[in-house]
Structure 1
Amino acid sequence: MTLYMPLFRSCTILRTLTQLHAHLVISGLHRDPQASTKLIESYAQMGSIQSSTRVFETFPKPDAFMWGVLMKCLVWNHYFQEAISLYHKMLHHVTSMNRFIFPSILRACSGYGDLGVGGKVHGRIIKCGFDSDVVIETSLLGLYGELRCLDNARKVFYAMPMRDVVSWSSIISCLVENGEASEGLEMFRWMVSEGVESDSVTMLGVAEACGELAWLRVARSVHGHVVRRGIKSDGALENSLISMYSKCGDLQSVERIFRRVTHWRTASWTAMISSYNQAGYFSEALDAFVEMQESKVEPNSVTLMSVLRSCIRLDLHKEGRSVHCFAIRNVLDPDLDFLGSALFELYSEIGGLSYCQKVLNTIGERNVVSWNTIISGYCQKGLLREALLIFVQMQTQGLMPDSFSMSSALSACGKVGLLELGHQIHGHIIKRGYLDEFVLNSLIDMYSKCGFVDSAYMIFDKIQHLGVITWNSMISGFSQNGDPVMAISLFDKMFLNCLEINEVAILSVIQACSELGYLEKGKWVHHKLITYGLGKDLYIDTALTDMYAKCGDLRSAQVVFDMMEERSVVSWSVMIAGYGMHGKINAAISIFTQMRDTGMQPNEITFMNILSACSHAGAVEKGRFYFRSMRDFGIEPSAEHFACIVDLLSRAGDLTGAYEIIKSMPFSVDASIWGALLNGCRIHQRMDMIKSIETDLLDISTDDSGYYTLFSNIYAEGGNWDEFGNVRLMMKGIGLRKVPGYSIIELDRQVYRFGAGDTPHPQMKEIYSFLENFQSLTRELGIT
């Protein structure tokens, strides 16, 4: 067999290797384990993984080493799922495990994104006694780092009895790539204090950490460490230093390092172009690309990706297409592993979704980043269902979604209310072990938007280390789902935990105060907003105006409104609504006039608010005027606008006019509009009119219990108990029930909510006892 080993090394053509394979079969040497193992490796190196697999499958009894070689070959060629399947099959055939197997299977798990299998492999490593092997432990660091499981990575690292420079470099890289750049630098300081000599790989991670944190002073110190230690590299370290200084905003140092490079390679030019992009100098980046071509240095796909980014930022769409053509002509990145995401961004900018689909079809199953960009792009354009279809298509092609893919899909599910698909993705997340903060926040947001805030809170409550974003997501979830008491309670806990309070949390809690009419809490939040020095924010100022107005403090609402540096149409509309809900029609009209004088065009909501103001004040003629003037602004009245004008006329007693408007509507009449007329009939005791339109009223199909409750109460007030019973039976038949009313009080800075039939309060017995005693006392005193 030793005679054939030089032949294996000299085989560089697949045909020659096939001939050698045939010769081995004829001579019977193909049954030799060493020969078959070498054949498996040689075929894999030439890209013929099918031939490697065939050699393995025809061997009678492969040993653990041969299983490991095929597994390694599958991983080389990125057949991660097949490598995992081979590992599971191997467990049934091999009794004695070889440590050589584990680095390959761990790499397959990280490449496929299967944390569940990775955890089981880790358990088997411990069982087999290989947990002190430096190579295997470094592979474990790589697995947990790539799958964003920092706690597991830290445990592996701290448990290592011996740590070489590769282990230190792995943990530093793991921390930096998962957003813990500061901890990565601390780890580097610890490494230096331990006397471990760093190499160029170590410094790549350290330089990246400095860049992520934009710590220029530390970056210069790191650069000095590289120079003092004389750490050499093949150019990758210089490129990393260029990127580091670029992120720190020191473009002079970037250019100085670049100009000192003795032999400009493609990677050096690419780093320079990327640095110009990061600094916002997109024109200079394109100039550097031209200079690169003049220097006869060939660009690669990464270079072209940076150039495409420059074209996109400068809106040079024609030039971007030229770059695409350049890539095609020069056969650069034919599978679009690198250019796919940039090309998708380019063509989506110019509206060429058909081109985007072609890009997607070309990418196939090779690049999860490109698929993520496409999913994200569809989401940003509001094509949410299309984004979810792409997400499903991605998996049918065998590509495992990562945390970014699943977060984007969960966001789309929440926005379109696809709870069932959201449940499925949740199950997939649990199965794959993607329980990082990014994904958990997306789950909380998805369940909240779908109206299942209890499910969102169950996830929130199980998270051990709650970040600011997680708190914000949950507070916003309660606020959006009609539970302002919990939103405020959670905000108070967040405040007591001394966490950073940002605009997102402030906005949610202000909205909660608006819903509750909780003025004192709203003032307290406004005070904290000023104390924290948060800058003027249009959304927060608008929310504060709305909160003060709904709480009845119109003076403070006007003060906040007057101090706004800029106002949107929503800001003006909120101020109009504030005066309108308190019956101050003249002030509401004055704000509307001021809005017009500033050149701001009213929208549908503005007219809703001004019509509502007229309704509250009983200003019939003004209401008619603003309803007719909507079309002058190019706004067609919607069902909500018709409901407002019908409510206005009905309350004023013009029931005939209201009915005529209903009959003239260009679309079908819903329950809210009939309800407005019905309420007017109740106010003005027009049972005769209810009788004449009774058929119309009963034909309404709605799940609004308030409509049927109003209808039944009118019959009850008129003493028509038979009809009252019929309406209540109708409600019961379609599964509706009257929504109970509730009251809210504030006591010792705590908000309490009481509803009919509720018994949640811990002192409920004492409260009822007090009420009974109070009633007895009033009867004794003759008070009724």
Structure 2
Amino acid sequence: MTLYMPLFKSCSTVKTLSQLHAHLLTTGLHKGTLASTKLIESYAKMGSLESARLVFEKFQTPDSFMWGVLIKCYVWNRFYEEAISLYHEMSCCYHETQFSSFIFPPILRACSNIGEVGIGQKVHGRIIKYGLDSDTVVQTSLLSMYGETASLSNAKKVFDEMLLKDVVSWCSIISSYLHNGKAKEGLELFRQMVSEGVEPDSVTMLSVAEVCGQFGSWILARSVHGHAVRREIQWDGSLGSSLVAMYSKCGDLYSAERLFRCSSNHSAALWTTMISCYNQSGCFQEAIDMFEEMQVSNVEPNSVTIISVLCSCARIGWLKGGKSVHCFVIRKAIDHDMERLGPALIDLYGNCGKIRDCQNVFNMVEGENIVTWNILMSVFARKGKSEDALTLFSLMHKQGLLPDSFSLASALSVCGDIGSSDLGHQIHGYVIKAGILCEFVQNSLIDMYSKSGLVDSANQIFEDIEWKTVVTWNSMICGFSQNGNSVEAISLFDKMYLNCLEIDKVALLSVIQACSHLGYLEKGKWVHHKLICNGIKGDTYIETSLIDMYAKCGALEIARRVFDNMEERSVVSWSAMIAGYGMHGQINDAISLFSQMVELGIKPNEITFMNILSACSHTGFVEEGKAYFTSMTRDFGIEPISDHYTCIVDLLSRAGDLSGAYNIIKSMSFPAGASIWGAFLNGCRIHREMDMLKRIPINLLDADYNSAGYHSLLSDIYAEGGKWDEFGKVRLKMRSAGLRKVPGCSIIEIEKRIYRFGAGDTSHSQTKEIYRFLEDFVDMAQKAGYTEKDLYTTDTGEFPRGNNVISHGERLAIAFGIINTSPGTTLRISKNLRVCRDCHSFTKIVSKLTGRTIIMRDLNRFHHFKDGFCSCRDYW
């Protein structure tokens, strides 16, 4: 039989092996254990496992070695469950003494690959029973099995019981800890290994380098690199690439470049790693330059290299370069079916706005590649083609492709963007039915429901998630903040902070926005303090949000200090500061800042002009407002939109130039909406020019505006004019359309807490004291020379009937504030509606008689009351 061994090596195909097998059958040599075992092994290596199994079954008395070979062959071909079945079959056929150590490594490998730690433990028990637990190969196999099935305590026990720990066993236990998220313990084992004089090999160093990169620990990375150099550990391509990637992840791109340049073996993998490092650091042009250098060096790129370069082109929107790479792919026949490169090309063309090219690439790719579908759906969503994205999602489902978490998250995101909660509900049902409740999808559900205004449904999902990540907390905080649930947003942020979770910029921006909505100054200051303590500065978005927050909380001086200390100011930052001055009625400062902005060469945008026009409207600066409105188109090429027209119509209407306001409405190239007509109607109401309404060619009552504010204003105008039929029609229309007047709500901040009051509120624990103060204040005001008309004159000039005006939320908040604070304390109040005229007069009197400064923010602007005067000069 020994003579036939070279013939086995010469068999390169199943056909030649079959011919040799037939010859052995003819000569009778097939009956020998060695020949049959060799046939089994040879057939398995060529992928003909059925022939190998047939040889085994024809052998009358297979020994444990032959069983072991067959089991190993099944493991080679990744038939792990079948290998385990063979092991059980062998266990039933053979006596314990016939088991050898050769059997166990492959069966333990099978247990690892299918995650069957239970079967692996039973195999371990049999190993101990047969006295094979001291065999080094078996021990190393046990280490790998326990490590790969995340059973670290068992792995450590096996390792500790090993008498001889070689570099392979050390590498196995270290890798087990590192790859199961126990980086600290793994690195400690590495230190122990080195201290015991065991020299790590390149495989061990590879694992350690990967973890250093994950930690982002530059000091540890330098130590690992230094150890590899000092011990002269042979670098293969994988270790070199891993060390380069390690430095990049630690933020040391310079060391990564230097290591790359010093490497003697510039393989395709190393070039690709360096290109990826540039991408991860945002150096996309450098990544493209590196690819060009790679081509000059005559190193052939692979599909991974091409994907990285296409990513670079996509991120900088370099269409020409991306097309050049695409041509290179076609010319070199890299991935001819586009299965791997298709998604990267779709992403490239999508980022460059070439949707048709995206679809062309998509049509070239095999339809079973779900990644390609996901990328195209993502492109549609990013480019605002929501219907196309949902159509693609539906088509994917119809073709039998089961959506994965990315597909579902993209579809849910689109549903949130277009407010399609019905489809979102259906997708949610599918998610529950399919059991795809991963973090990615759950966060997308929270986002979808929040954007659809169903914040309670979003919160229910949030509460049901047992293990919440930082992203999950951020999603819910953003959901609350975006839906006006500012108190809930701040409360959830506080809970997140108390749970010692990492607070990132997303959460901070959301809570700053919530503080802005509430006018919650103390909490805003606290958040700002945490930003400073954590060294977060120089972020334009956060600093601009702080400007907006301080301005809306009445702390305009602090807002200006934040603005002045900014290292870099965007046009949004300038606009926010101008808006702050405008809402506080400081028109001269707003104009000065606008002029300074233009002189510095910063071009104002639509928002900037809306803010400066609004500032002019709040203060009655008619000529300046008209000049800005003209300059917007003439000097900066910005066509006015509805918001700009609303500002200029409001400015002219408030100033009494109703004819000018009406002429502007007539000159518009699009129909006026509810906000524009509302501004005009309010001007007519203020100046008692109701005859102007007769000149309007449209029936204001029949106008199809889905605005409760507009209809409320129109009904009030009809009521003041005694036109009760029209008043009734407006109210009937509001009821039939489901439009409700927004209930008034006032908020006051006292000792770092906020308190809410609605009109006629009696829910507070100090209700009796609040109403008693208001009654006593009437007597105090009258003794000071004020009349009831001074205190309660409404917009109609009549004394109010009932207790409605007397118990407005801002009055209750003021009374509560005076009762619960020491004399001289400034009261800060926020109201979600425009302050009515009689409450404005009342607050002026309060500030005079109590010596208090009262800062009140209503829907439109700030009012600073002091010594009986208001900063708005009764113009608002």
Q: Deviations along 1:543-600, whole A, 9 cap, x unmatched?
A: 2222233333333333332333332222222222222223333332222222221122
Q: Distance in 1 between matches of 2:390 and 2:469?
A: 28
1:188, distance to aligned residue in structure 2 (A): 5.9
TM-score under structure 2 normalisation? 0.65
1:537, distance to aligned residue in structure 2 (A): 2.5
What's the counterpart of residue 708 of structure 2? 705
Change (3 A) 1:403 1:184: farther
Q: Match of 1:716, as an amino acid?
A: A
What's the counterpart of residue 537 of structure 1? 539
Contact 1:583 1:617 in 2 (8 A): yes
Change (3 A) 1:312 1:714: closer
Q: Secondary structure at the match of 1:753?
A: strand
What's the counterpart of residue 553 of structure 1? 555
Residue 250 of structure 1, aligned match among 255, 262, 271? 255
Contact 1:503 1:540 in 2 (8 A): yes
Give 1:71-470 correspondences, 5 Å limit: 153=150, 156-158=151-153, 168=173, 171-172=176-177, 174-175=179-180, 185=187, 203-219=205-221, 222=224, 236-237=238-239, 239-241=241-243, 243-244=245-246, 247=249, 250-251=255-256, 254-255=259-260, 258-259=263-264, 267=269, 282=287, 285-286=290-291, 289-290=294-295, 293=298, 299-305=301-307, 321=323, 324-348=326-350, 352-364=354-366, 376=378, 386=388, 403-404=405-406, 406-427=408-429, 429-430=431-432, 435=437, 437-470=439-472
Change (3 A) 1:251 1:534: closer
Residue 656 of structure 1, aligned match among 644, 659, 662? 659
What's the counterpart of residue 65 of structure 1? none
1:622, distance to aligned residue in structure 2 (A): 2.5
Contact 1:414 1:445 in 2 (8 A): yes
Matched, 1:745 2:748: yes
Q: Match of 1:744, as an amino acid?
A: I
Contact 1:577 1:588 in 2 (8 A): yes
1:383, distance to aligned residue in structure 2 (A): 5.1
Q: Match of 2:255, as an amino acid?
A: D
Q: Secondary structure at the match of 2:480?
A: helix
Q: Secondary structure at the match of 1:567?
A: coil
Matched, 1:669 2:668: no
Q: Distance in 1 between matches of 2:779 and 2:315?
A: 82
- Stretch moving more, 621-630 or 393-402: 393-402
Q: Secondary structure at the match of 2:755?
A: strand
Q: Distance in 2 between matches of 1:409 and 1:680?
A: 46
1:196, distance to aligned residue in structure 2 (A): 11
Q: Distance in 1 between matches of 2:593 and 2:383?
A: 34
1:356, distance to aligned residue in structure 2 (A): 3.3
Q: Distance in 1 between matches of 2:405 and 2:436?
A: 6
1:710, distance to aligned residue in structure 2 (A): 1.2
- Stretch moving more, 186-195 or 610-619: 186-195
1:706, distance to aligned residue in structure 2 (A): 1.1
Contact 1:384 1:416 in 2 (8 A): yes
Contact 1:519 1:548 in 2 (8 A): yes
Q: Secondary structure at the match of 2:554?
A: coil
What's the counterpart of residue 574 of structure 1? 576
Q: Distance in 2 between matches of 1:71 and 1:722?
A: 89
Change (3 A) 1:72 1:428: farther
| Runs of at least 5 residues in structure 1 that lack an aligned partner in the other structure | 1-5, 21-34, 56-67, 77-82, 87-95, 109-117, 144-152
Q: Deviations along 1:489-528, whole A, 9 cap, x unmatched?
A: 3333344444444443333333222222233333343334
- Stretch moving more, 696-705 or 384-393: 384-393
Q: Deviations along 1:261-280, whole A, 9 cap, x unmatched?
A: 6xx86556655776687786
What's the counterpart of residue 32 of structure 1? none
What's the counterpart of residue 607 of structure 1? 609
Q: Distance in 2 between matches of 1:579 and 1:385?
A: 41
Give the fraction of aligned pairs with identical amino acids, expressed as a percent.
54
1:740, distance to aligned residue in structure 2 (A): 0.6
Q: Secondary structure at the match of 2:700?
A: helix
**Which has the greater radius of gyration?**
2
Q: Match of 1:547, as an amino acid?
A: M
What's the counterpart of residue 63 of structure 1? none
1:705, distance to aligned residue in structure 2 (A): 0.9
Q: Distance in 2 between matches of 1:670 and 1:202?
A: 69
Q: Distance in 1 between matches of 2:417 and 2:213?
A: 35
Q: Distance in 1 between matches of 2:262 and 2:190?
A: 23
Q: Distance in 2 between matches of 1:393 and 1:226?
A: 53
Q: Match of 1:289, as an amino acid?
A: M
Q: Deviations along 1:229-276, whole A, 9 cap, x unmatched?
A: 9998986455544544565653477358842x6xx8655665577668
What's the counterpart of residue 482 of structure 1? 484
Q: Deviations along 1:598-650, whole A, 9 cap, x unmatched?
A: 12222221221222122212222332222222220212221222222222222
Change (3 A) 1:213 1:573: same
Contact 1:254 1:272 in 2 (8 A): no
Change (3 A) 1:737 1:239: closer
Q: Secondary structure at the match of 1:754?
A: strand
Change (3 A) 1:300 1:737: closer
Give 1:762-777 correspondences, 5 Å limit: 764=763, 766-771=765-770
1:202, distance to aligned residue in structure 2 (A): 5.4
1:287, distance to aligned residue in structure 2 (A): 6.5
Change (3 A) 1:642 1:299: closer
Residue 563 of structure 1, aligned match among 565, 578, 583? 565
Q: Secondary structure at the match of 2:691?
A: helix
Change (3 A) 1:236 1:659: closer
What's the counterpart of residue 513 of structure 2? 511
Q: Secondary structure at the match of 1:766?
A: coil
Change (3 A) 1:290 1:780: closer
Q: Distance in 2 between matches of 1:652 and 1:782?
A: 32
Q: Distance in 2 between matches of 1:540 and 1:291?
A: 44
Q: Match of 1:461, as an amino acid?
A: E
What's the counterpart of residue 523 of structure 2? 521
What's the counterpart of residue 60 of structure 1? none
Change (3 A) 1:173 1:440: farther
Q: Distance in 1 between matches of 2:778 and 2:296?
A: 98
Q: Secondary structure at the match of 1:650?
A: helix
Q: Deviations along 1:287-310, whole A, 9 cap, x unmatched?
A: 6634653xxx76543354456567
